[in-house]
Every structure is written in structure tokens, then in C-alpha cells.
Amino acid sequence: MPDTASESAPVILGNEPGSFPHGVLAERHPAIVRQVRDAFPHDPARREALDALLASCADGVIEPLPADADPTGRDRDRWAAWGMDAYAGRSWYDVPWLWAESHFYRRLLDAVGYFGPGPWQGVDPFRPAKLTELDAPETDEELAALDGLDRVPAGERTRALLHGSLWGNRADLGFRLSDRGADTAGKVDALVADDSDTLWSLLPHPATAAAGPTTLCLVADNAGRELVPDLLLVSHLLAEGRVDRAVLHVKPYPYYVSDATPGDVLDALWRLRAAGGAAAAYGDLLWTALADGRVTVRAHPFSCAPLPYADMPGDLREDFAAATVTVLKGDLNYRRLVGDRWWPPTTSFADATAYFPGPVAALRTLKSDVITGLSAATEAALEASGEPRWRTGGTHALIQVRR
């Protein structure tokens, strides 16, 4: 019997030296600050702010957001509501890891002057890395491969595009900062859960079912080589008639290095259309659907919140409730979906997501310790596999669906 979800599973903190979350706070965050510092000719004030963030990462405590944290003050108010007052003055390592990581990115944007006023206002500190990835030869290869996809049976094509979107999650830039080998490891047989039949039963082919109008909410994760296959999947589902409308949720501002913003959606779309061949046809279809309103892009402030989706505000809840199914991409969204806790791996995914307002699916490669919904046999096989990093190494993936 699967365990049922309970609030008793401990929240993941980053305070255990040698653990994965500790390594992210102690090593990955400083590496990200250095990467941003090297990528831009920031002025002395910006460089000083970046150095202060580096020092804070090493041994500092969380400070309240400054009074000029954003021009309207709204974001400062949001952070107050999201726990700023409770956590200010505490160590980065002793507050929930999800909160600490999320706040780190907010501080980084502050340090580089993202919220202005000034010349750095609105400049995405991660844009150079995102564009490099979009322009990489691997992206060309992936797009060229679409030309052959038209010749395979429809069912196989749909499956290939779903898996492209799933494994595209491994192209996360922050992840590859410290795990460059992950790109080449084994793929589809590494699925630890596969509810794709349930997903297709929610989005049936119109020829096989008298389905009503369907709306897909896709909560995107990374830009570049993950967003491109996400857009291909949406375009394909629209073309097939499995989906009538789609809502694409992205981040309102740069986050977790490579998370997609509205600007990244445009970059990916232009990239598709410029590629020619089948890729351009997918891009053209999406372009038209955006222009006629069948596809919309949303950048809700809660998408950058340091909290689980269980705490989502009413308007976002309504969005998801109106969808035929909401598909959440990636590791961070998974952590926020089921709660960033040390769940027993056999905890029921359906129970952990019971609060979610409608059918929900997770497409995720495993890049942090959180996991639910495994069968006891799968858990045992993974533990016996001799791969100690199966939870965090990005070598495994899951498709989990709750109707």
C-alpha cells in the first residue's frame, strides 16, 4: 500500500554538510554569482553588491529586502507575505531550502540592478548563457531531426514530442554548472514512473473521442533547450486537435539561472521559425495561435514565490482549475507541487497533489531529493542499483499524472 501524504514529512533544509541541498547553497550559488560577475561589465556599485552577496552566501544571514527593492514596493510586500520577516536574520542554511534558494535569486537580481532604476534595469543576468544554449549546434541537430518525425506514425510522433519535452528538462543550465556529464547518460529506460496513458486519456485524439474543448496549462521550467521542445509539444497538440487552447506559464523575472521568462518564449519562437523545415512549421503554428489568442502566456508573480503550490493565490488556482490538465515541467515545479519534503518515495502522488485544483501532471528529470509516487519495487530497484545519485543526478525521469 502506498503511504498517504502527510504534513509530517520533514521540510528539506540545507544545513547538513555533504548533502545535496547544502552543496547548492555553499557551492553552486557562489559559482552563479561569479558567473554573472564575469559575464557583464558591471559598474563598481553593482560589483560591490555582487561581492556582498558572495560573502553572504559563504557565512551570512538573510537580510530583509532593501527599501528600494523594486520601484513599486509591491514585490517587497509580496516577500513580506512570503515569509521575509520570519526568516530575516537567520542563516541561509537553517530556513527551508526552497525558500533560501528562491530568495538567493531575488537578491542576485537586486545586486545587478535588475529592478532599477538605472542602466541595468531589466537586463537578464542569465541571458548570455541562455542565448549560447539556444544557438548551440545541438539545438540545430534537434530541430533538424523534426524533419524525419513527420514520417513516423502519429502515435509515435506524439510520444517522441512528449519525451523531448520531458528530457529537455535535463538541459537546465544551473544544473549543468556542476554536472556537465549528465547530458549523455541513458534516457527513456530511466523512467521511474510513466503515467503517460493517463495523460493521453485526458487529452484524447479528437478522432477517438467525443471530447469537449480542451485547455492545456503548461507550467514551463527552463528556457533554451527545454522550452524549445515544450513549444514543439504544445504546437503538436494544437495541430492534432488534442488541445484547443493552451496557457503557458513562465516566470515574471529571471530565476534559477535558466528559467523561462516571456522574453525567452519569444527567443525560442524566433529560433524555431528561423530554423526552416518542420521546425519552422511548428513555430508558425504557434505564432498564429498566439496571435489569435488560442495560446496565451502568463507570468504570475507566484511563479517566483519561495513556496509550494499548495499556498497558491486564488487567481492562479482559478487558472489551473479551468484547465483540462495542468502540466508542470521540471524539478523545481515538482518540489513546489508535492512540497519540498523528505517524503517516503512510495507516498502517493495523488495524495500529495490532492489539493491541486484539477488534473495535474508532472514531467520531470530527477535533480533533487524529493520523490513521491514510486512503487515499492521501483524504489527497491533504485536503491539496489548502485547509483547513489539517482535522486539528484538527472539520470532518471518521471511522468506522473493525477486525474
Ligand X SMILES: O=P(O)(O)OC[C@H]1O[C@](O)(CO)[C@@H](O)[C@@H]1O
- C-alpha span between 169 and 5 (Å, rounded): 26
Looking at beta carbons only, is 101 or 319 nearer to ligand X?
101
Cβ contacts of 217 within 8 Å, gap of 6 or more: 246, 247, 249, 319, 320, 323, 325, 326, 327
Looking at beta carbons only, is 330 or 339 nearer to ligand X?
330
Element (H, E) at 376: helix 376-384
Nearest Cα residue to 109 out of 97, 123, 90, 129: 123
Residue span 39-78 as binding mask against ligand X, x where in contact by CB under 6 A, dash where not: ----------------------------------------
Which residues from 167-226 bind ligand X, rule CB under 6 A?
Answer: 169, 172, 174-175, 221-222
Q: Does 330 bind ligand X (CB under 6 A)?
A: yes
Q: Does 104 bind ligand X (CB under 6 A)?
A: no
Nearest Cα residue to 103 out of 117, 85, 116, 119: 85
- C-alpha span between 259 and 331 (Å, rounded): 11
CB of 328 to ligand X, least distance (A): 10
Nearest Cα residue to 258 out of 36, 12, 30, 14: 36
Among 225, 236, 335, 341, binds ligand X (CB under 6 A): 335
Binding segment for ligand X among 118-126, 263-271, 330-338, 372-380 (CB under 6 A)?
330-338
User: Which residue in this structure is represented by grid cell 538567493?
Assistant: 104
Looking at beta carbons only, is 42 or 391 nearer to ligand X?
391
CB of 336 to ligand X, least distance (A): 9
Q: Does 24 bind ligand X (CB under 6 A)?
A: yes
Cα torsion 317, 251, 179, 48: sign:
negative
Binding segment for ligand X among 121-129, 157-165, 327-335, 376-384 (CB under 6 A)?
327-335
- C-alpha span between 99 and 105 (Å, rounded): 10
Q: Does 331 bind ligand X (CB under 6 A)?
A: yes
Looking at beta carbons only, is 115 or 256 nearer to ligand X?
256
CB of 375 to ligand X, least distance (A): 23
Cβ contacts of 142 within 8 Å, gap of 6 or more: 164, 225, 228, 229
Q: Does 255 bind ligand X (CB under 6 A)?
A: no
- C-alpha span between 2 and 375 (Å, rounded): 8
Q: Does 306 bind ligand X (CB under 6 A)?
A: no
- Give me the residues that bind ligand X (CB under 6 A), please: 24, 101, 169, 172, 174-175, 221-222, 256, 330-332, 335, 367-368
